[in-house]
Amino acid sequence: MSTRSDHSRTGEKVSPIYSFMDVVAREAEEYAAVHTTPMSPLLEEIERFTLTRTLYPSMLTGRVQGRFLQLVVQLSGARCIVDIGTFTGYSAMAMAEALPPDGRILTIDHNPEHARLARDFFSRSPAGNRITLRLGEALDILKSLPDGRTDLVFIDADKRNYIAYYEESMRMVRDGGLILADNALWYGRIFDPRDDDSRAVAAFNERVQGDDRAVKLFLTIRDGIYLIRKKGRDAGS
Ligand SMILES: C[S@@+](CC[C@H](N)C(=O)[O-])C[C@H]1O[C@@H](n2cnc3c(N)ncnc32)[C@H](O)[C@@H]1O
């Protein structure tokens, strides 16, 4: 993994802060988790299960990001949400708990085992009734969704499709709607992208940054969240 510390080794001029940044980031992550309200017992169980019983626990959203998603849903008043990349269901369940009773989430995954695990968890909560899981290729499913009807999209699947997911999301969300993209820091590899996924996330970040249709905020929460608001005639800047 390429980090900011690697930049120092290559002789690039960087601030000395980067030499201890990794340690600070890890401590800050732990501190943030301790100082964030715990999630519901079901979400804490999904987290424990994912960390101990799945092959890729690092794909989990987790408490800090989950609570952030819940607050974004509540503050924005979103009712119609699309969650791209279900995995064990954490982000979908977190957002479902924050929705009003008539709110709806479509969550998408192409892995049948992930879908089975997530459906089991969804069936154990009343908020699970707000979630529809569709098994299939995310891009195909997004293309079947109508223009301008979605309030919020959470992008958290394969990195090479991030730009395509973003373009579909800009079509699907209403004016003033929100798009959040996870892993925008991609473990720091975006600073020196050397593989296809890293190049894809770096290109996505540049695409968003240069897009005049949106107002954006790059958040360094966990592995980075790009928070994007679609501008519109009546939606302000
Ligand atoms: C990072 S995980 C999602 C984590 C989840 N949002 C959470 O809160 O824990 C990415 C998921 O995207 C799914 N995925 C990857 N590529 C996909 C594709 N092309 N179409 C649909 N799902 C895909 C994977 O199977 C995996 O479950």
Parallel, antiparallel or unpaired: strands 150-155 and 173-182: parallel
74 and 131 in a common domain: yes
Residue 173 lies in a domain: yes
49 and 106 in a common domain: yes
Parallel, antiparallel or unpaired: strands 150-155 and 80-84: parallel
Per-residue pLDDT for 174 more than 50?
yes
The domain of 147 spans 41-230
- The stretch 52-60 carries a mean pLDDT of 91
Looking at residue 82, what is its pLDDT? Answer: 99
- The stretch 44-65 carries a mean pLDDT of 93
C-alpha 62/C-alpha 45 separation (Å) is 11
Is the pLDDT higher at 141 or at 6? 141
Q: Indicate whether residue 151 lines ligand 1 (CB < 6 A).
A: no
- The stretch 65-69 carries a mean pLDDT of 97
Q: Determine which of 9-18, 90-99, 201-210 has the lowest per-residue pLDDT on average.
A: 9-18
Per-residue pLDDT for 146 more than 70?
yes
Look at residues 218, 216, 217, 214 and name the one whose alpha carbon lies nearest to residue 230. 214
Where does the pLDDT of residue 230 fall: very low under 50, low under 70, confident under 90, or very high at 90 and above?
very high
Which of 158, 165, 183 best tests ligand 1's pocket when mutated (most atoms within 8 Å of CB)? 158
Average pLDDT, the chain: 91
Residue 81 lies in a domain: yes
Where does the pLDDT of residue 232 fall: very low under 50, low under 70, confident under 90, or very high at 90 and above?
confident
Residue 235 lies in a domain: no
Kindly give the number of the ligand 1 atom that is closest to the alpha carbon of 91: 8
Is the pLDDT higher at 43 or at 20? 43
Which of 93, 109, 122 best tests ligand 1's pocket when mutated (most atoms within 8 Å of CB)? 109
Kindly give the number of the ligand 1 atom that is closest to the alpha carbon of 66: 8
Domain count, the chain: 2
Rounded to the nearest whole angstrom, what is the distance from the C-alpha of residue 84 to the centroid of ligand 1? 7
